[in-house]
């Protein structure tokens, strides 16, 4: 069978105001890791193709035309909620033009709304959860005639029976063992398409764990069980990636460092094998200590990405971050001591913030010594505790996300949870933050030196600099 796996175009996606628009274009292109992962264990007798419409900057219409020209037997879609409208348009058209093509939807949106997505009437199967094992089972079942007894045996699957009723299978009750999962099949995409503005060489992403046991009110991480791979499995994938000629790896975990000994074991395994590769990881600011930092640097880790979110103790408590200002300060001191680069994320817009805090935020972030920093605006993502609090308090009079999920519309925009005046002030503050951080002479000189041997890095950083300067002129 011909199997086409693709993500969805950004055209007409739901709008949000989390990240300023000038930070969303051309500075980061990550590979579609979920699609590459579910493709890895599909029986090789099938032809599997991955279409990354994001990196190709494809429209809804060009995506439809590609699918119609390819004429797959199975179309697999990775769906995020903000792109539900593009999904609905594409699947409606494909159902008309290619009625025999089976459409399977997975991804974060399906984890939250599998039944609602089936009720839209344009997909054949919803597959929430980890698809590395269940998607190949579904492919085998489709090939063998889609008998209901076979469909019933696929954990988590939602499907329609012969009478049109939607059925939902129970989840797999066996423990999740990530070491048994196949490595993503990175050979299905052009690896040269992917980069970030802070990596010197060709890069890719990977996961060493899944889930985050913390419950921050703004966060939509769905898996709250922390499942992790062994050090040997993680470094095995490191080795496979280096054989593809890739020089930099970004570990895309939600909480890479939550188990201290595992971090140490990974570093020691890299050193034992003598691997020479640069890598980075998404972490929390705690736990870290001298031994961990020493081994991380020695094993090739050159940057840690951390969600600091706030430097106000009351706001940290309000968001249920479970970290203290002292832990934040200790983390950045350790990174300075060990010459570890940092990429720090901050959020503004919490009701506990004072005007004095907002005015001094940039100065305090610079004093921390963060290598890179981004300032986002608090946004009520679906299913988060923050969004629920807006419903419970009456700020939102109805469940706007639920309405959108039932009836996707183009360019859906959630009402503001604050006054327009405050929203504009937050946008101006975020702009001032990025200008003030990125246009410092020392920052500019350091980044220019880093980019000197990378034409792509020069282009992306120069573009951001021009945009920030242009904004400054129109302030």
Residue 130 CB partners (closer than 8 Å, separation 6+): 176, 181, 210
Q: How confident is the model at residue 355 (pLDDT cuts 50, 70, 90)?
A: very high
Q: Is the pLDDT of residue 361 over 60?
A: yes
Q: What is the pTM of this model?
A: 0.93
Q: How far apart are CA 351 and CA 200, in angstroms?
A: 39
Q: Which residue has the higher pLDDT, 18 or 356?
A: 356
Q: How confident is the model at residue 460 (pLDDT cuts 50, 70, 90)?
A: low
Mean pLDDT to the nearest integer, 356-379: 97
Lowest model confidence (mean pLDDT) among 83-92, 175-184, 376-385 = 175-184
Mean pLDDT to the nearest integer, 79-107: 97
Q: How confident is the model at residue 146 (pLDDT cuts 50, 70, 90)?
A: confident
pLDDT at residue 360, rounded to an integer: 97
pLDDT at residue 470, rounded to an integer: 66
Q: How far apart are CA 145 and CA 233, in angstroms?
A: 36
Q: Which residue has the higher pLDDT, 469 or 18?
A: 18
For residue 322, CA distances in Å to 221, 308, 344, 462 come to: 16, 11, 17, 37
Q: Is the pLDDT of residue 456 over 70?
A: no
Count the helix, strand and coil residues of the chain and give each as a percent rounded to the nearest 5.
Answer: 45, 15, 40
DSSP alpha helices (H): ranges in 226-324? Answer: 231-243, 260-273, 290-298, 313-318
Q: How confident is the model at residue 224 (pLDDT cuts 50, 70, 90)?
A: confident
Mean pLDDT to the nearest integer, 194-212: 89
Kindly report the average pLDDT of the chain as a whole number: 93
What's the pLDDT tens digit per position in 263-318?
999 999 999 999 999 999 999 999 999 999 999 999 999 999 999 999 999 999 99
pLDDT at residue 474, rounded to an integer: 47
What's the pLDDT tens digit per position in 8-21?
999 999 998 888 88
């Amino acid at each position: 069978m011909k199997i086409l796996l693709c993500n969805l175009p950004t055209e007409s996606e739901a709008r949000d105001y989390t990240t300023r628009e000038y930070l969303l274009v051309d500075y980061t292109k990550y590979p579609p890791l979920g699609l590459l992962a579910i493709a890895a264990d599909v029986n090789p007798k099938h032809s599997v193709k991955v279409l990354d419409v994001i990196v190709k900057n494809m429209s809804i219409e060009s995506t439809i035309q590609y699918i119609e020209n390819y004429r797959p037997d199975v179309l697999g879609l990775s769906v995020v909620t903000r792109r539900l409208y593009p999904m609905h348009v594409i699947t409606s058209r494909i159902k008309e033009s290619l009625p025999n093509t089976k459409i399977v939807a997975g991804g974060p949106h399906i984890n939250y709304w599998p039944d609602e997505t089936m009720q839209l009437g344009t997909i054949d199967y919803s597959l929430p959860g980890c698809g590395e094992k269940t998607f190949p089972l579904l492919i085998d079942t489709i090939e063998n005639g889609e008998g209901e007894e076979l469909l019933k045996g696929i954990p988590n699957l939602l499907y329609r029976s012969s009478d049109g009723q939607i059925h939902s299978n129970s989840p797999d009750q066996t423990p999740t063992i990530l070491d048994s999962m196949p490595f993503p099949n990175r050979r299905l995409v052009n690896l040269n398409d992917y980069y970030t503005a802070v990596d010197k060489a060709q890069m890719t992403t990977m996961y060493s764990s899944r889930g985050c046991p913390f419950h921050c009110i703004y966060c939509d991480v769905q898996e709250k069980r922390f499942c992790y791979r062994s050090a040997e499995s993680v470094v095995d994938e490191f080795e496979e990636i280096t054989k593809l000629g890739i020089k930099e790896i970004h570990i895309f975990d939600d909480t890479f460092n939550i188990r201290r000994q595992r971090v140490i074991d990974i570093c020691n395994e890299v050193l034992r094998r003598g691997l020479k590769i640069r890598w980075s990881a998404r972490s929390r600011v705690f736990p870290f200590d001298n031994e961990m930092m020493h081994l991380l640097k020695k094993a090739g880790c050159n940057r840690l990405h951390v969600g600091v979110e706030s430097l106000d103790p009351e706001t940290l408590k309000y968001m249920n971050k479970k970290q203290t200002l002292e832990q934040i300060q200790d983390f950045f001191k350790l990174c300075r001591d060990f010459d570890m680069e940092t990429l720090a994320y901050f959020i503004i817009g919490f009701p506990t913030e004072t005007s004095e805090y907002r005015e001094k935020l940039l100065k305090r972030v610079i004093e921390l010594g963060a290598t890179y920093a981004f300032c986002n605006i608090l946004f009520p993502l679906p299913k988060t505790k923050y969004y629920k609090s807006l419903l419970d308090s009456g700020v939102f009079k109805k469940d706007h996300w639920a309405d959108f999920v039932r009836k996707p519309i183009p360019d859906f925009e959630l009402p503001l949870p604050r006054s327009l005046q405050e929203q504009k002030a937050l946008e101006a503050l975020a702009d001032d933050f990025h200008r003030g951080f990125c246009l410092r002479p020392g920052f500019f000189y350091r980044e220019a030196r880093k980019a000197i041997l990378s034409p792509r890095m020069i282009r992306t950083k120069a573009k951001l600099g021009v945009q920030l300067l242009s904004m400054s002129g129109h302030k």
